[in-house]
Amino acid sequence: MAAAESCKNEAMTNWAAIAGVIATVSVYAIAQGLTYPLLSFVLQRQGVSPAMIGLSAAMTPIGFIVSSPLIPSLARRFGAGRTALTCAALSALTLALVGLTYNVYAWFPLRFMIGVVTNPLYVLSEVWMIALAPPGKRGRIMGVYSTLISAGFAAGPLCLLFVGTEGWPPFLVGIVAFVVCGACLAVVLPRLPKVDQTGHHVSVLGFMPLALLLLTAVVVAAGFEQAVLALLPVYGTNFGIAETRMSALLTVMIAGNIAMQVPLGLLAERLSAQVVRLGCVVATVAGCALLPLVITTPLVWAFLFVLGAVSYGIYTMTIIELGERFTGQALVAGNAAFSLMWGVGGIALPPLAGAAMTLFGAPGLPVTLGAICLVLVVASVMALRGGLNSRRRVG
């Protein structure tokens, strides 16, 4: 009887911790989603060139890349909880410094620091989420997690409709969001697993040979998302589609991303994350092939909704498989490696697709993205057939 009660209390604690981590990351996503457009609007008002605005925005993902290899050692030395709480406080402070300076050149190192200090907060929250999710329900829980993060990023720009983009109000929203993020984390911290203290020490570079296919999938998912957000409006103008209509189409695509991650997670529980990821990649390749045929038809609305769901589903399934295969320090290193590869994909693939559009016109976008996804399809099929992805848990 006492054992049953203990199990019940443990389950309740786990669900409370899961809810707390989701709240933490959702608020973090709102702050991050607000920052990107806010700083672009401010720089645009100052007469800064688009090229300089783009370089300024690139500082944050570069910060992600630089900080990712440091996360396992920081978590090991100071503890994951203390590291994440410190990063939440530093994120609020850095954003306050951005609001104080209002200078494009000062913002280069500050935006870099935003990437450096927010990345461990995100990575460690994702590690806790994976560790807390019961194996039998990991698909749906990670689906909810992905959905709420996407919704948080989408809600960030909406905040600007209410507070505007001038003066301190928008910066205060972001600063308060980071403070609330830290407060949510502090509340649930005693209930979180000590993932940073378990298993053999694994570095980010040491993790990479263990999961090359997963890391490739992250690069593809990140590059696809960033390239579409940046270049789909340009692609649409080549077909005479108005900017307002393209903005609405992008919104529908993001809505598909938000709405469909839980159903995909449930499907992963029935089949496997590997199989569902392969299905998502195949569907994304098909989407790239069909895009020129449907872009000017009424079918494009439903088409982009589905494409948004399956393209981001690649990442959701990859995260689920990471949790199935790795624990402890290997899981921390894996999440940090994922963050690094997300930055690499987000920086490398949009310019590649843009260059293809410059050389070959509008078809360069779907051809480039489709070809990259096709490489992932081939690698995934080879892994499934040859058993290259061991199901053995590493930690």
Distances in Å between the Cα of 171 and the Cα atoms of 54, 62, 119, 219 are 20, 22, 19, 31
Q: Is the pLDDT of residue 391 over 80?
A: no
Two tokens, residue 1: 């009887």
What band does 393 get if pLDDT is binned at 50, 70 and 90?
A: low
What band does 309 get if pLDDT is binned at 50, 70 and 90?
A: very high
Q: Which pLDDT score is estimated for 3?
A: 44
Per residue in 298-307, pLDDT (tens digit) is: 999 999 999 9
Please state, as a whole number, how many other Cβ atoms lie within 10 Å of the Cβ of residue 62.
Answer: 16
Q: Which pLDDT score is estimated for 140?
A: 87
Q: Which pLDDT score is estimated for 197?
A: 56
Q: Which pLDDT score is estimated for 162?
A: 83
What band does 395 get if pLDDT is binned at 50, 70 and 90?
A: low
Task: Say what the pTM is.
Answer: 0.82
For the chain, what is the mean pLDDT? Answer: 85
Task: Determine the average pLDDT of the residues in 20-37.
Answer: 84
Pair 64, 342: CB distance under 8 Å: yes
Q: Is the pLDDT of residue 276 over 80?
A: yes
CA-CA distance, 314 to 376, in Å (whole number)? 10
Task: Determine the average pLDDT of the residues in 103-129.
Answer: 91
Question: Would you give the distance in Å from CA 232 to the centre of its chain?
Answer: 19
Q: Which pLDDT score is estimated for 389?
A: 45
**Strand, coil or helix: 295:** coil
Closest-CA residue to 187 (of 344, 54, 27): 27
Q: Is the pLDDT of residue 19 over 70?
A: yes
- Over pLDDT 90: what percentage of the chain? 35
Q: Is the pLDDT of residue 1 over 70?
A: no
Q: Is the pLDDT of residue 266 over 70?
A: yes
Closest-CA residue to 27 (of 181, 174, 157): 181
Q: Which pLDDT score is estimated for 394?
A: 52
Which of 135-144, 208-217, 238-247 shows the highest mean pLDDT?
208-217
Amino acid at 316: T
Per residue in 312-358, pLDDT (tens digit) is: 999 999 999 998 888 888 888 999 999 899 888 888 888 888 888 88
| Residue that wins the pLDDT comparison between 243 and 381 | 381
**Lowest pLDDT segment from 250-254, 338-342, 384-388:** 384-388
What band does 4 get if pLDDT is binned at 50, 70 and 90?
A: very low
Which of 60-69, 188-197, 286-295, 329-338 shows the highest mean pLDDT?
286-295
Sorted by sequence, the CB contacts under 8 Å of residue 238 that are 6+ apart come out as 361, 362
Sorted by sequence, the CB contacts under 8 Å of residue 234 that are 6+ apart come out as 357, 365
Task: Determine the average pLDDT of the residues in 20-27.
Answer: 86
Task: Determine the average pLDDT of the residues in 226-246.
Answer: 82
What band does 235 get if pLDDT is binned at 50, 70 and 90?
A: confident
Which of 147-151, 176-180, 224-228 shows the highest mean pLDDT?
176-180
Q: Which pLDDT score is estimated for 114?
A: 92
In order, the DSSP letters of 89-137 are HHHHHHHHHHHHH--HHHHHHHHHHHHHHHHHHHHHHHHHHHHHS-GGG
Q: Which pLDDT score is estimated for 282?
A: 97
